[in-house]
Amino acid sequence: MNREDLELYVTGNFDGDVTALEREIADDPAVAAAVADEARFEMLLRDATAAATFCVACEEIVRGERCDACGAAVRPGGYVIERVLVSNAHGRMYVAHDADGKQVALKELAFVQAPSQSTIDAFEREAKFLRALEHPAIPRFVASFEEGRGVHTRYYLAQELVDGTTLDRIEQRWYTEAEIVDVARHVLGILVYLQSLSPMIVHRDVKPANLVRRADGSIALVDFGAAYVDGATAGMTTVGTFGYMPVEQLAGIVDATTDLYALGASLMYLLTRQEPWRLAQTKTTVNVAAPLRAYLDKLTATDPRERFASAKEALAMLDRREELVKSVSKPKRSRAYHAVWIATGIAVMGAGVGVGVAMRKSRLEEQKKAAAVTTEMATLRVVLPKGIEAALYIDEQRFGTVRNGLEVPVPAGLRDLKISSGAARCEQKMRLPAGKITTIECIIGVVEPSPRLDNKTSVTWSFKSTPF
């Protein structure tokens, strides 16, 4: 009798002749002893498994406060992690519960090096925002805390758990026009609240992935990590998601129209299930009713002076225009529809030379004056390993999150480029020619032990650039 059959017998998985096997165990002391050994080993294994903690992210056994395999936390701040909602290069969003069993959404920020003061300030700013906000469609603040030191530092933000599905994940090929109007009304209601505060708050990252549809049909706006208080110094750092940002946001300029543009781009995504930047590249046309076309055009106008001046105005127009609601509720007739293409600011951003940007000055100034600024732009095409998202830095300033195949408009000239994703980083100085596309490919290189990193490995990337 072989050892494998004995193991299967002890675990109850033996599918052979059980009667013959048990007769052999009874007749042969050596076989009986082997079965006893297998039984003892199985009991020890079961005890060890029962006592072990398994990672909710990768299901490996966890021997400490954090999984050695993937780095996921176990009990940060006394919260018990139940599952991972989202994971990317910058951290994770968990579902967790406290000692009383109350569930929260626990946001974790992780770092490949000790966090900078600007990163710490951004985290504290988000916590401060959430403490002050009181709206049924915005998750309530619960707690914030820090664990670890140096490269092992982790920042946590516990918020009300919004039970629902983000609009980018709802399994539906595209939204109907009536549903688009409904989404717009929900989101505009949230933006009206944010813009009514003193000072006004600009979310700066409105997109389908940050809009959660609850079971009752209402929509919540989450992730205030990029939020901006009107009147503060925005600087030249770009915060947001490519394709959903208006042109002026690339220069760090935001106002009440910024989130309206992002809402318009989000609605186009829901209509087509294509990212706005891809719509612009492929010049995709979308058939919508003429009143809805005009409304989307106004939301996503390249010049901020041509957009709705505020969320309140956009919502009022949505409520007033009965023909808009009626047109999207009637059976479709092809002759009543026209083509709309959200090229607008996205096409301008990728066009190359002479990008005209209409900027609005701070609301703290006595008057808003728009000035045209012309910048020579280059286009950067990013090639990354499949499924990887990374942070792009230009001249030491964070420019935004990029993914494979994305083409982003950047200032032309000699630039210090850096791409960072988790433990992988690559950096190189190169000249970006105006009006041309430069492809940068990040290639995974050497993998070697690195005791300073949680995952015990250091992944080196290298650039391969191809201007054409």
Domain-wise residue ranges, the chain: 3-51, 54-160, 168-374, 377-467
More confident residue, 377 or 276: 276
pLDDT, position 261: 96
d(C-alpha 349, C-alpha 370), whole Å: 19
The CATH number fitting domain 168-374, selected from 3.40.640.10, 1.10.510.10, 3.20.20.140, 3.30.70.2190: 1.10.510.10
pLDDT tens digits along 155-164: 899 999 998 9
- pLDDT higher than 80, residue 289: yes
In the predicted model, what is the mean pLDDT of the chain?
74
pLDDT tens digits along 21-67: 778 877 888 888 887 877 777 776 665 555 556 777 666 777 667 77
How many C-beta atoms lie closer than 10 Å to residue 322's C-beta? 9
- pLDDT higher than 70, residue 463: no
The CATH number fitting domain 377-467, selected from 1.10.260, 3.30.70, 3.55.50, 2.60.40: 2.60.40
pLDDT, position 212: 94
pLDDT, position 347: 44
Judge whether 54-160 and 377-467 match in fold.
no
CB–CB of 257/246 below 8 Å? yes
SS3 21: helix
The CATH number fitting domain 54-160, selected from 3.30.70.920, 1.10.10.1100, 3.40.50.2020, 3.30.200.20: 3.30.200.20
More confident residue, 180 or 242: 180
